[in-house]
Amino acid sequence: MLDIQQLQIQLGDNQLNYHQQINSGDIVTLQGVSGVGKSSLLLCIAGFIQPVRGLISWQGTQISSQPIEQRPVAMLFQENNLFEHISVLKNARLGTANIGDTEIFAAAKELQITEQMQKMPLQLSGGQRQRVGLLRTLLRPEPLILLDEPFAELDNQTRTIAANWVNKIARAQNKTVLLVTHQMEDVDILADRNWLME
């Protein structure tokens, strides 16, 4: 279980408060108006923002004091998910030492980006880049997956394909997913629970 207890983040003049329990293996969508603190929460769980107070625990172990590298978290940022100077395939291999190219290419095929794997990130469209990042994040071994607007740049058809793929992989590997989205369609396809932030 992911246990977020009385967590408080200070962002400029804004104070953001969170308190929530999320069961292992659940996919939870996060919704709310811009600025409500959805991305900040993900960044805090991943270790990039230090909370003012409160605790984050995973399976009973407190992780909020752990360094980024030791947290059981894989995160997809809204942008800047790829190193621009190395190929897409090399980008996809990073952090996925547990799996081989066969699985990467199988996932790429499902996400319809096989043709892009040998290219450089600059040659890809925004949607293609996002799917490469998504592929890598889901294939990483960490059990807790944080996805910050992963389908924002995808057309409706590709969005459905990507969402279904996330659903399949997360369920098969029993991953716990927190996913920020503004689309109800994503909630319908993926969510065990929708966390509406106010």
Binding residues for other proteins, rule: CB under 8 A, are 46-48, 68-69, 73-75, 77, 80-86, 94-95, 122
Q: Of 7 and 74, which CB lies nearer to other proteins in the complex structure? A: 74
Q: CA angle 176-2-29, nearest 5°?
A: 50
Q: Of 11 and 68, which CB lies nearer to other proteins in the complex structure? A: 68
Nearest distance, CB of residue 160 and other proteins, angstroms = 27
Query: What is the C-alpha to C-alpha distance for residues 120 and 180, in angstroms, rounded to an integer?
Result: 27
Q: Of 52 and 68, which CB lies nearer to other proteins in the complex structure? A: 68
Q: Of 23 and 70, which CB lies nearer to other proteins in the complex structure? A: 70
Nearest distance, CB of residue 162 and other proteins, angstroms = 20
Nearest distance, CB of residue 123 and other proteins, angstroms = 10
Q: Of 12 and 33, which CB lies nearer to other proteins in the complex structure? A: 12
Nearest distance, CB of residue 169 and other proteins, angstroms = 18
Nearest distance, CB of residue 112 and other proteins, angstroms = 24
